[in-house]
Structure 1
């Protein structure tokens, strides 16, 4: 017993010791050093009232001993780059630290000067890494410090000129030039008052440099404007604004007033809210800088050689939709409007990682702006003297900014789900104020559908609408849109209703969404919602079908998990039977493929896992079908057979277009069909799926067909990207291995005894050991590159056939050419189904060119020759427009 107690006591002591160590580690983790506490205090500046906190925080920094300049500087850098709405107050804090205190040592460097010098080191690192946003926000900080007298105006002007110099670089990309323009232009916006007083010439040169570059991007703007008419290159300015245009408009307005208006739109606490003596020390001279050269990314291939080429992803002008009048949300072209929009956009970008925090900061933004900029919250004391021309609605301004970023073309900078979830969080935080703004935004966007809202923007709008409705009980006043049921069936408004309801059903279920719609929308004649829930449609389930028995036999084999070889043997006998039957005149191979594919999908229709298991179990069979083989397994591929496989899959899921896209994606993933096959099928058969299939009509593209095209192109491009990375990795490994062998041989040669060179001649033809893995990867890379090129070429050919068809094409849309005229656009109120079909197809062609421009540039010579050379000696307005869009997207002379 005593021995047991002793053993147990030893175990207790060990556990007690371990617990003490854990407690010590926890205390260590919870412990904050004085430096950490000071850094946190600087970062948290303004949690209550920033102006009142500044003197207290200044004293806290001065009282901290020993001084830790790098720690304080790091806190400033974090605050400036992650909380840009606090930048004016950080400038005021640094001004206080720069001023001498009672305990300052004569002739000693001011504390603020030391912090600023260390801050510059951080700025230099941002610049070296070409971290544009952090660089731009640091320039904001420097501009405020210039106004506060802490930085010399000559050095600030030199800094801004270093960014305008980027605009004169040969072949500068739009993205690089845009970011450099923002750095120079926004720095001038903040510090323009003192800089112009110092040098009118320098200020004008900065504005002129930005203006000169902006003038060279007219055609690029036309291609990505969300409200552009196909018939004209004129861009409506009342529905969307472009980033550099609003920057230039702001700078021009401020320049006319000698930048005196800046103080009415940007807080300057270092000049108004702080009562301190002006600094007597010499302003800090910012060191001269040179903006590093452009960072090249491996994002594409060279045109004809198939070798790796360094091509940076294309960047486009940024257009933001306007949803509200100037008395509701600020005009972005005005100084105050530009400042507000930029501040809100910075919050959107920085806090993407935390949508809840982003929503909270957006609603708290008025705290960091001038009083009177926004209407006070309900119950808050009103501003005694609101600023003239302001008093805007905060929630409407935020929603307009978020949706503007969401609808940027050709793609938004963040994932769509972030913007959608952010709006939901805003509604939860303040439903009584954000809800009405969201409702007004939906109505405005819906109205703009008739005025030429871009098809890609309309697709995202439908996606957001459906997800937003799902978060709030699918409640919407559909009766407001009932009159639009009289519009043509392919009118953008009716297409929007159809697609939004389809998205809602995906997020809930058919019967629930059906009950939310007015009765007049529920009928089959409304073409808004299907009569039945989306589900499978097994063609051979009907006993009256001629091939019902044959399909049941195949189905039983699948249910019994028969081997693929046994199924193939059964199909051979089935083929012989069908060929000798009364139906032998039909395409027996197509019939068998349809039976097999539909039967296999019927087995997998219970759930997604059942579908994947069925596909994976019978991969050999499916590849055999797609190869056109009968008894042999495998094959090189048969385009007609692959089209039959895709047609059978689309027919089975004709009532559920989402599943059509999913099945096509899996067929490509398992290499049963190629992306080129999906592209070809889409242009030939895409209109035969969904509610409108029964209406028929000419060849055209809707959002559904675009989703299929996008899935195929992304698959082809993604495979090339993965293969390129694998080749690069294997090539690096091979080079490293050869370098190690060479180094070892050199070492052995040095250590070895001298040899008679004549007795042992060197063999120059010594065999080189082949890297099998690298060789295989290069072959796969070459094959996938050809597949990518084929998919892009087939897509371009399909669009040309749709939009500039020959007169003998039976499937051509007769209005493909007429809708591009100005007279036709003005008469769009009288358009019918075919006109709107053609207009939408033109829209998807524009999206194809601008979204895939990096890949199109890589093969521009070949693709142009194949698709456009036939138009060179022929006058055709549609062909001219096709070519112009192509040239703009590929960087050619339009």
Structure 2
């Protein structure tokens, strides 16, 4: 057996006292495809579970890629640029890697930026708006790594926000580009605040004016109504209102008690405003490039070219608006870490990361649950509460949830199996909160809640503390709470049988139980002396005796068939 120490190909760990990465001795005749496959594996897996620090792994990978640039430069650049949009949770890792490559080789940094710009334009043309938004964020993080100049980034931000001033476009278009800029500020806001404070303030004021045009329109409408102003057509054209008519249709609850149901862009603007008041200091994003500041600060920076969003076309479908789902607040988490506030930027960053994990692993419930529970820095947040809230937010997403109901149900089951000491209790608490708020809940969400809850009970022997919901028995039968219990039991009937469903509930709940689905033979209920009943009885007996099809047909011939009769010479047979 060979005693040679195996190479950790993923991490490319540096040995102590040696500035060269420990790499597998490459075969002299290693094929080009094998080399590119190895490099692709290293780039994709960087930052995953390893015995070494992330900074060490990034530095080692940068040296490996630098050594292979002569042979595989095009492939390396292509892989890195594709990973940026495919693995958004590694944004800071890839920006640090590009920063180190740019510090060692200015031309390679320029080629990477050029390809990223091309990808950004291609994503917009292909209507892949989420990937384009992630690239805007990545451009911001490249400013932190001294790859892109802050002036050229501000120019890009201004061009994107200027879309909100275009005429005759859907609001979803302007909302999207405003959101793209705002979502990059948690990463690069502090850098811009220190170097481009005046430009940043002007940009934020422009966004603020866009989001608050509702008030401006109301004010102008009062003026024109009072004075019969001849300039009202001009005002109507140039003062576009940020409308939120969709808000009522997309909210899960019709009441803002105890949690306001905020429109997603308004909520995000409140979070950015809170970050702005905190001098752009956040406490969630892990920034490995800070360890290489002495190297990156000496690198030459590139300027982004002038980028204009493509003009709107009638067939463009932009991301739909949403209403932010809130289920818990800090009072619901009595023990352990404090739940971030609804308008803290940490709440947004954590929730977005959890959404990424679900989107990446939704086809594999085991991996999805495992990755959710392996969330980085989970000891600093009430992770179970935030996972449950994010999953329910996707399940109740209107008008249609992103994935099938079984996806969320099976993932919650796996989470309960992997974390039996705490997560089932949090999930039960969430069910109680949802039940208490049923009277103001959207009816489509109530239906989804009943479908999931019945499925979940079927995997836990239908055990539940039904007596805690006995107050629902005193309500009107059409009230949402008794209707929810009735619908849940009906769904349980599909996953079990009537006798079992009746056993799981107290006797007081029997009035809400579904009727026993007994078969009904209309011939037995009719006059037993009738010809039809006699033939039916004979046919049943023949079938029990395992008669042949011919014998059964002979019995049926005893009945008169009106379709075989004729009227005025017309054949009525079908």
Tell me the TM-score range normalised by the shorter chain.
0.7 to 0.9
Q: Is residue 563–residue 573 contact of structure 2 (8 Å, CA) maintained in 1?
A: no
What 5-or-longer segments of structure 1 have no aligned partner? 1-29, 101-107, 230-234, 298-310, 376-390, 574-629, 635-894
Contact 2:274 2:344 in 1 (8 A): yes
In structure 2, C-alpha distance between the alignment counterparts of 1:289 and 1:237, rounded to whole Å: 44
Structure 2 distance, partners of 1:242, 1:153, is 31
The 5 A counterparts of 1:412-431 are 412-431=401-420
Partner residue, 1:42: 43
TM-score, structure 1 length as denominator?
0.51
**TM-superposition CA deviations, 1:295-330 (whole Å, max 9, x none):** 655xxxxxxxxxxxxx96994433313234365543
The reply to whether residue 145 of structure 1 matches residue 170 of structure 2 is no
Q: Measure the CA separation in 1 of the matches of 2:503 and 2:463.
A: 11
User: Structure 1 residues 210 and 632, CA, compared in 2 at 3 Å: closer, same or farther?
Assistant: farther
The match for 1:81 is: 85
From 315, 340, 343, the counterpart of 2:350:
340
| Distance change in 2, residues 1:63/1:455 (3 Å) | same
Q: Are 1:465 and 2:427 counterparts?
A: no
* 1:292 aligns to 2:317 (yes or no): no
Cα distance in 1 between the residues matched to 2:319 and 2:152: 33
1:114, CA displacement in angstroms? Answer: 3.0
Shift of 1:110: 4.5
Which whole-Å deviations, capped at 9, do the CAs of 1:775-807 have from their partners, x for residues lacking one? xxxxxxxxxxxxxxxxxxxxxxxxxxxxxxxxx
Q: TM-score, normalised by structure 2?
A: 0.77
The 5-angstrom pairing of residues 226-305 of structure 1 reads: 226-228=252-254, 235-236=256-257, 238=259, 240-259=261-280, 261-262=281-282, 264-271=283-290, 273-274=291-292, 276-294=294-312, 296=314
> Alpha carbons of 1:312 and 1:133: their partners in 2 closer, same or farther (altered >3 Å)?
closer
Q: Provide, for residues 340-363 of structure 1, a one-character-per-residue CA deviation record: whole Å limited to 9, x for no partner.
A: 112212222333343333322222
Name the counterpart of 2:224: none
Q: Residue 211 of structure 1: CA displacement? A: 1.6
Would the alpha carbon gap of residues 219 and 65 (structure 1) be closer, same or farther in structure 2, given more than 3 Å must change?
closer
Instruction: Report deviation, 1:431.
Output: 2.6
* d(CA) in 2 for partners of 1:239, 1:504: 33
8 Å CA contact 1:164, 1:210 repeated in 2: no
SS at 2:437's partner residue?
Answer: helix
State the distance in 2 between where 1:274 and 1:358 align: 33
User: Are the counterparts in 2 of residues 224 and 317 from structure 1 also a CA contact under 8 Å?
Assistant: yes
CA distance in 2, matches of 1:284, 1:568: 88
1:667-678 equivalences in 2 (<5 Å): none
CA RMSD after TM alignment:
3.4
- Counterpart pick for 1:167 among 143, 164, 169: 164
Q: Deviations over 1:128-163 (max 9, x none)?
A: 212111111112211111122221122212222333
Pair 551,287 (structure 1): closer, same or farther in 2 beyond 3 Å: farther
User: CA shift at 1:501, angstroms?
Assistant: 0.9
Partner SS, residue 325 of structure 2: strand
Query: Helix, strand or coil for the counterpart of 2:245?
Result: helix
**Aligned equivalent of 2:60:** 56
Q: Is the 8 A contact 2:527 2:533 kept in 1?
A: no
Distance 1:537 1:295 in 2: 59
Aligned match of 2:328: 323
1:513 has 2:501 as partner: yes
CA, structure 1 residues 166+412, in 2 after alignment: closer, same or farther (shift >3 Å)? farther
* Structure 2: segments with no counterpart, 5+ residues: 1-30, 215-240, 541-548
Higher relative contact order (CA 8 A, sep 6+): 2
Given that residues 97 and 111 in structure 1 are in contact (C-alpha distance below 8 angstroms), is that contact kept between their aligned partners in structure 2? yes
Cα distance, 1:195 vs structure 2? 2.1
Report what 2:235 is aligned to: none
Q: For 1:543-567, what per-residue CA distance to the aligned partner results, in whole angstroms no more than 9, with x for missing partners?
A: 3489x6557769979974989xx84
Whole-Å Cα distance in 2 between the matches of residues 178 and 537 of structure 1? 58
Q: Which whole-Å CA distance do the structure 2 matches of 1:120 and 1:184 have between them?
A: 16
For residues 162 and 536 of structure 1, the distance between their equivalents in structure 2, rounded to whole angstroms, comes to 69
The equivalent of 1:361 in structure 2 is 371
SS in 1 for 2:434: helix
> Which residues in structure 2 correspond to 1:722-741 (within 5 Å)?
none
Bigger CA radius of gyration: 1
1:499 alignment counterpart: 487
Is the 2:116–2:135 Cα contact (8 Å) retained in structure 1?
A: no
Q: Counterparts of 2:317 and 2:67 in 1: how far apart (Å)?
A: 50
Cα 1:360–1:349 shift into 2, 3 Å: same
Matched position secondary structure for 1:349 = helix
Number of aligned residue pairs: 492
Q: Deviations over 1:154-184 (max 9, x none)?
A: 2212222333233333343344344323211
* Superposition map of 1:810-821 within 5 A: none
Q: Are 1:399 and 2:388 matched, yes or no?
A: yes
